[in-house]
Amino acid sequence: MPVLKKKPRVEGEIPTSSMADIAFLLLIFFLVTTTIDVDTGIGMVLPPKLEDDVIPPPIRERNVLKILVNEAGLVLVEDQPSAVQLIRQEVMTHVLNEGVDPRYAESAGKALISIKTSRETPYSAYVNVLDEVWMAYFEMWDSEARALGYLDYKTYVSAITESGAENIIRDKIKAAISIAEPDGT
């Protein structure tokens, strides 16, 4: 009677050495397809709808800086022909006037920028003007923050969100931008 030979035991394991490679392939797929596109843009808050019986509070003429953008993208500031590049400086003199020049605003808290377009104004011209106005505010906030001893407005904001203090720069210089309806509508 022949002796039954014992079969050599086969290892019953799945090889896991290729696991890393498979995971790498999947990782690369997701890396390539992921688009972390953070949406950037110019933020605005529209004024709430006016109730019919509420009359908006009167605003003194000198506190409003009127910017008009026409169909060709040309700019009028306070009825004077101007250029988009000059708006930033104009807005800053208007807001930081503190009642010195009678043509400009009484105080930074009361200053208002009004942007008026016609219905045919190209959107890009409007965005350029709005961008300049916002940049003027950003520059003013930056210099206010530097006066308080911060590097810029951004570091000031992160500092106050940490401590929970109130944003005194925003209280002092409010970004009051109004988008006026075109005439005849």
Q: Residue 63 corresponds to which amino acid?
A: N
Query: In the range 152-181, which residues lie near another protein by CB under 8 A?
Result: 179, 181
Q: Is 182 in the site for another protein (CB under 8 A)?
A: yes
Among 38, 54, 55, 147, binds another protein (CB under 8 A): 38
* Distance separating alpha carbons of residues 121 and 77, to the nearest angstrom: 16
Nearer to another protein, 107 or 128 (CB): 128
Among 2, 12, 15, 47, binds another protein (CB under 8 A): 47
- The CA–CA distances, whole Å, from 104 to 52, 58, 80, 98 equal 31, 17, 14, 8
* Distance separating alpha carbons of residues 76 and 74, to the nearest angstrom: 7
Q: Is 126 in the site for another protein (CB under 8 A)?
A: yes
Among 15, 43, 164, 184, binds another protein (CB under 8 A): 43
Judged by DSSP in three states, 115 sits in strand
The CB-of-110 to another protein minimum distance in angstroms stands at 22
Nearer to another protein, 27 or 83 (CB): 27
* Angle at the Cα of 165 from the Cα atoms of 159 and 167, rounded to 5 degrees: 80
Q: Is 19 in the site for another protein (CB under 8 A)?
A: yes
* Distance separating alpha carbons of residues 74 and 118, to the nearest angstrom: 11
Please enumerate in sequence order all residues whose Cβ is within 8 A of that of 97, keeping only pairs 6 or more positions apart, or say none. Answer: 104, 105, 106, 111
Question: How does DSSP classify residue 70?
Answer: -
Question: Segment near another protein (CB under 8 A), from 3-11, 29-37, 97-105, 163-171?
Answer: 29-37
Q: Is 14 in the site for another protein (CB under 8 A)?
A: no
Interface residues toward another protein, by CB under 8 A: 16, 19-20, 23-24, 26-27, 30-31, 33-36, 38-49, 117-124, 126-128, 130-131, 134-135, 137-138, 179, 181-182
